[in-house]
Amino acid sequence: MGDLDQLRINFSPEQLTLLNIVLAFILFGVALDLKPEDFKRIFQAPRAVLTGFFSQYIFLPLLTLAMIAVFKPQPSLALGMILVAVCPGGNISNFMTHLARGNIALSVTLTSTTTLAAIILTPLTFSFWSSLVPQAQELRASIYVEPGQMFKTILQLIFVPVVLGMGAKRFFPKLAFWLHRPIRILSLAVFILFIAVAIQGNWENIKTYLSKIFLLVLIYNALAMAGGYFLARLFRLSETDARAISMETGIHNTGLGLILVFNFFGGLGGMALMLAWWGIWDLISSFVVGVWWNRRASGKS
């Protein structure tokens, strides 16, 4: 195995606890925005929602396997790419969809449903798709995680804060309305700060290995966003729907992925670096694409 497969990122138990709290805080903020209507849209506009699910849970993993076959990254990076693909959409996708003049309602529906579905789908789909990466089999065998264990952790990380957030919105609507925007801004700022501190603490490792993942993540993320867009258009969805699905396919909750890496994969270097850099890069790429779409003429159906 190469150096990246042997590398372990320095992360103290205190930092991991803080990351858990930050993620729960982020998801609590997301839940303050959720309404029953967000889930009703699954039945009101099933084609758009199903296309979004297909893009995230079928197209993206298949794209990931193709990328792995072409670029032949080290096994730990390959597993990191698979974990990125099976993480749910990130809440910043809603803002980026708004910036891009996409269908915000569809974006919120996809983010909320994939987040809840991640409790079951993330451990199961990671186990399935990672088993199809031949070069990662030796490494995967040494770090194999029972999907049930991962399910319990994700249940705690997602279900509890989402239920609390939706409960606050249901029973304390005025407080939820007042809190939701500051919490979303604060949670994003804290997450970025947390990543910055983690990068500083592992700067030498990052400086050594970033060159190995920079171009890979750039191409991978660009193909994910472009693929989500053209897949939606192939299914004859509107321009605004296509922009929303593009953002949902390209932006993932890598905070959840990092927690899984440190909880179950021993801080495996390649996986951690892939998740951390994707989390930084998808903010940059989605903002650039969002501004570009925003400056174009309003979407045409």
Residues 6+ apart with CB under 8 A from 241: 48, 51, 102, 103, 106, 232
Question: Residue 89 — φ and ψ, nearest 5°?
Answer: -65, 150
- CA distance from start to end of the chain: 50
Helix (H) or strand (E) holding 18: helix 13-31
Q: Where are the domains of the chain?
A: 8-291
CATH class of the domain comprising 8-291: mainly alpha
Tens digits of per-residue pLDDT, 92-140? 788 788 889 888 888 888 888 888 888 888 888 998 998 898 777 766 6
DSSP 214-242: HHHHHHHHHHHHHHHHHHHHHTT--HHHH
Q: What is the pLDDT of residues 235-273, one digit of tens each?
A: 999 999 999 999 999 999 887 888 888 777 776 778 888
Q: Are 233 and 242 in contact (CB under 8 A)?
A: yes
The answer on pLDDT for 75 being more than 50 is yes
Closest CA to 20 of 214, 212, 161: 161
Each residue's pLDDT tens digit, 206-239: 667 777 788 999 999 999 999 999 999 999 999 9
d(CA 226, CA 203): 31
Q: Find the mean pLDDT for residues 273-279.
A: 85
The pLDDT tens digits of the residues spanning 38-64 come to 667 677 778 999 999 999 999 999 999
Q: Give the pLDDT confidence score for residue 201 in this predicted structure.
A: 62
Strand partners, 144: none
Name the E strands within 12-70.
none
